[in-house]
Structure 1
Amino acid sequence: MNNILLQDGSVVPRNTDNTWPLFRLAFRPFFLFGALFSIVSLVAWNALLNGKIGFAVHGGPLWWHMHEMLFGFVGAIVVGFLLSAVQTWTRLPSIKGLPLFLLFLLWLTARVFMWLPAVLPPWIIAVTDLLFFPAAALVLTRLVVKARLWRNIIFVPLLAAMTLANATMHYSAAEGLTELALSAAVGMVLMVTLLMCIMGGRVFPMFTANGTQTPRVPPLAWLEKSAIIGMLLVVVTQVGIFALPAWVNALLLFVTAALHFIRVFRWRIWVTLKTPLVWSLHVSYWCIPIGLTLLGISELSDSITRSQAIHSLTVGAMGIMILAMIARVSLGHTGRTIQVGKLMNAAFLILTFAFVVRVFGISVFPSYGDVFTTATALWVLAYGCFFALYLPILTRPRVDGQPG
């Protein structure tokens, strides 16, 4: 009675963990409620832009939209992924149970506090929000140091840099410095893009080989290093730390984009077209060099706006990659076959269309309002599919009876 018989005939010990399944590993609450939060936030933002509702939020509506999609939604997914992955990397138990619930509650409290600027002092809202990344970094550091896996220590300074960007955004809100807020938001976008480039290079070739039963593409050391170094330089130059001529910024962006175009082309998207959990990852990565190219054009010409370029990285690269990764990780970490059905395949297609509409839709739609509304509706539909399908998966024990 203490063992479970799996479909392949193997027997595993039954998990006796009495922790509520939602808080057995970090990906569960942060993927589920991060996805739901993105839906709520975008619906509220679109309703505000169209004059359907009015509301007071910390930092003002535009600041709130930028901050909450980056530090609220994306931040939740990043922490959920890292604090789950570190258990696989180190083979040490990661945060769960009451400590995980408290970390999730910290994130959720900060989201609620953003809606209460008339009730709470700004410093309480800011401090509550700023504690999240450092708390996650402490958990990550403890496990990486204990296991002596120094290769993965890189994610700790990255979380520290994200905390600094977050602090800068809160300072800009307190002082009414719109340009500083925009710079901090761009910095966060590019740091998350850097994280996606690092993780993509590590796992996408493997996912492609495993998912398509084709040979794994061997990495080219010069290309891998150059692509990451180029992206790191883009982060530094685009946040305004150095005042460089526009043509220098554009040249760096074009060269870095070219490196990532070569990188993702070598991964052979054409062999993945029948495998939704793989082609979606490829499409998301293609959005990175597209976004960098558009950002370079925006440095030299008004034909492409900076907003279009940034949304290539947020809606395209981040939105699609997050949806694909949380769908994949949620299946693997709950003991299920890593394969999605037609509905999630449709969700990936819908979100890809949302990227196209948000970035290039102004050439088709009569107004930006129509662009925003259409892109929002598509995002809500795609992430709504995830929430509906994965709610029972993420709130129930693993099907194989194992911990996590």
Structure 2
Amino acid sequence: MQVIDRRKAMSIPPLLRLGFRPFFLAGALFAAIAVPLWILALQGVTGWQPSGGWLAWHRHELVFGFGLAIIAGFLLTAVQTWTGLPGLSGKPLAALALLWLGARAGWLAGTPALPLLVLELIFPVVVALVMARMLFAVRQKKNYPVVAVLILLALADGLSMLGLLRGDDGLQRQGVLAGVWLIAAMLGLIGGRVIPFFTQRGVGRVEAFAPIVWLDRALLIGAPLVAILYAAGLGLTASLPVGVLFALLGIGHLVRLARWQDKRLWRVPLLWSLHLAYAWLAVACLGMAAWNFGWVASPSPATHALNVGAMGGLILAMIARVSLGHTGRPLQPPRAMIAAFILLQLGTLARVLLVEFWPVGSLHLAATCWAIAFGLFVIFYAPMLCRTRADGHPG
């Protein structure tokens, strides 16, 4: 609030005053629509094909459509606090949001691969450049890893789009899986900062949760290393060394989670939703280790533990809390969001544990839970995101 011109800020439409507003709303709405659309496509009732086909669309858009939109909204908001410089707002923010929306529409409209590649890559590159410009301007070295992960995400997106351009399903899959684990790296990086902080504040704890610096650094390096292995095509078949890497990552996340525990957090929905979602990140890593060790037949349950439980769960919990704080409201979510958090967990359990025994039903149950959870966020948070702050401040 101290780094912006109040009069100028208040003249901007509320939806465009900070990055979290358009991207949280658009990302959640896209999540609520895209998964049911995928289910309809599986049933053959959609009547058209997006670029590359429905499978290519589904696996790409969860990561680079939905996931990257929410990450952009969070980072473009947080960077103003980190640097003391004005964040992106107004027409530049609207233009960036339209770039994201254009790529989503381009995929669904069946745009040819080459123009779609250009349209798709502009968004992550611009987000990385904006973050780099602001962080480098104040030499804030502790957040440089954020820029590095964003650049790697843009490269992974480029690899997946190159696969689409060449009609190479394997190459596209390598890019998407690399993107998935780069999202995991970002979840670990941001979650490792905000979950203990939110927990301390939420339960009224006096002392902070002291980080284990070497563990934080190891986890920050480990997930991008997995992503690089996938991008190189080295993680697509089971491998003992890769299994060991995943096992170490899973154990590291569990150690972190155990150190953040406080029995009072289980009475606060904005906290237990974060902790349960972070637990799915550890489950995903350990599940991938089990597959690489040959203990389970498929990596799919672990991948969906990451995509649905960790990414979906952490995103839903984070945007529910951040939206309240940044719109000047008490940190008490609408009661419907408790149902949303529970539905997201039920959907994850269905997609990860029931699919082998109840393949079609569990898929439909998981999709329904996911869509309702994000739909509830849209219904109850859209008015907050589209209106001025409750306390009258800009932002």
TM-score band by shorter chain is: over 0.9
1:122-137 → structure 2 map (5 Å cutoff): 122-137=113-128
Post-superposition CA distance 1:155-205 (Å, at most 9, x none): 222111111111111111121211111111111110010111111111211
1:44 aligns with 2:37: yes
1:69 aligns with 2:62: yes
Does the CA contact (< 8 Å) of 2:238 and 2:294 recur in 1?
A: no
Which residue of 237, 254, 260 maps to 1:261? 254
1:236-315 → structure 2 map (5 Å cutoff): 236-240=228-232, 242=234, 246-268=239-261, 270-301=263-294, 303-315=296-308
Report the CA distance between 1:122 and its aligned residue: 2.3
AA matched with 2:93 = L
AA matched with 1:222 = W
Post-superposition CA distance 1:216-269 (Å, at most 9, x none): 321223332333333333333344455797111111111221111111111116
Does the CA contact (< 8 Å) of 1:50 and 1:369 recur in 2?
A: no
Does the CA contact (< 8 Å) of 2:328 and 2:390 recur in 1?
A: yes
Range 142-151 or range 199-208, more displaced: 142-151
Report the CA distance between 1:280 and its aligned residue: 0.8
Which residue of 210, 220, 239 maps to 2:201? 210
Distance 1:275 1:68 in 2: 32
Report the CA distance between 1:392 and its aligned residue: 0.5
Distance 2:332 2:313 in 1: 17
Does the CA contact (< 8 Å) of 1:14 and 1:402 recur in 2?
A: no
1:108 aligns with 2:101: yes
User: Structure 1 residues 16, 303: closer, same or farther in 2, change over 3 A?
Assistant: closer
AA matched with 1:213 = G
User: Structure 1 residues 58, 210: closer, same or farther in 2, change over 3 A?
Assistant: same
Matched residue, 2:192: 201
Report the CA distance between 1:54 and its aligned residue: 3.1
Matched residue, 1:226: 218
Matched residue, 2:156: 165
User: Structure 1 residues 170, 16: closer, same or farther in 2, change over 3 A?
Assistant: closer
RMSD of aligned C-alpha atoms?
Answer: 1.8
User: Structure 1 residues 204, 60: closer, same or farther in 2, change over 3 A?
Assistant: same
Aligned partner of residue 108 in structure 2, secondary structure: coil
TM-score, reference length from structure 1: 0.92
Aligned partner of residue 131 in structure 1, secondary structure: helix
Does the CA contact (< 8 Å) of 2:24 and 2:319 recur in 1?
A: yes
AA matched with 1:396 = R
Distance 2:66 2:262 in 1: 28
Question: Which 4+ residue blocks in structure 1 deviate beyond 4 angstroms?
Answer: 13-16, 241-245
User: Structure 1 residues 383, 131: closer, same or farther in 2, change over 3 A?
Assistant: same
Structure of greater Rg: 1
1:391 aligns with 2:382: yes
Matched residue, 1:371: 362
User: Structure 1 residues 103, 322: closer, same or farther in 2, change over 3 A?
Assistant: same
Aligned partner of residue 272 in structure 1, secondary structure: helix
Does the CA contact (< 8 Å) of 2:355 and 2:363 recur in 1?
A: no
AA matched with 1:217 = F
1:182 aligns with 2:182: no
Point out where structure 2 has 5 or more consecutive residues left out of the alignment: 1-5
Point out where structure 1 has 5 or more consecutive residues left out of the alignment: 1-12
Matched residue, 1:82: 75
1:20 aligns with 2:7: no
Distance 1:273 1:111 in 2: 37
What is the number of residues matched between the two proteins? Answer: 388
Report the CA distance between 1:15 and its aligned residue: 8.2
